[in-house]
Amino acid sequence: MPAVNKFTKTSIVRPIRMSRPINRRNASPAPPPHPTFLQHISQYVPFVLFGLTVLVVLLQITLAILTDSLDKEFVKTRALIEKAPFDKKALQELKGMINQLLHILRNP
């Protein structure tokens, strides 16, 4: 007995499903596998290494400038110390340098 719709009392005709063979040649390719964490991070390794290299070079340049200026200050201070017993102007300049250092140490 065919299926009947109980509200309209008409028979329900179900369409025949047309099956066709699966053609895998026309199927879309599988998506690429999701990269692992290490594969994802390894993409950025060259950029990180370049950035670290730039930072190290800038640090070396900065230290070279600072040590050069410190060397100049040490030479200047040594010259003032050597001249101070014989030259009042050098003595006054040396006292001024000492007062500046004391002021910096008292008020950081």
Q: How confident is the model at residue 94 (pLDDT cuts 50, 70, 90)?
A: confident
**Residue 53: predicted pLDDT:** 93
For 11, phi and psi rounded to 5 degrees? -80, 145
For the chain, which residues make up each domain, given as ranges? 41-106
Q: Do the beta carbons of residue 65 and residue 59 sit within 8 Å?
A: no
Q: Is the pLDDT of residue 98 over 70?
A: yes
The answer to whether the predicted template modeling score (pTM) of the entire model surpasses 0.85 is no
What CA–CA distances, in Å, run from 73 to 69, 78, 79, 100, 104? 6, 8, 10, 14, 16
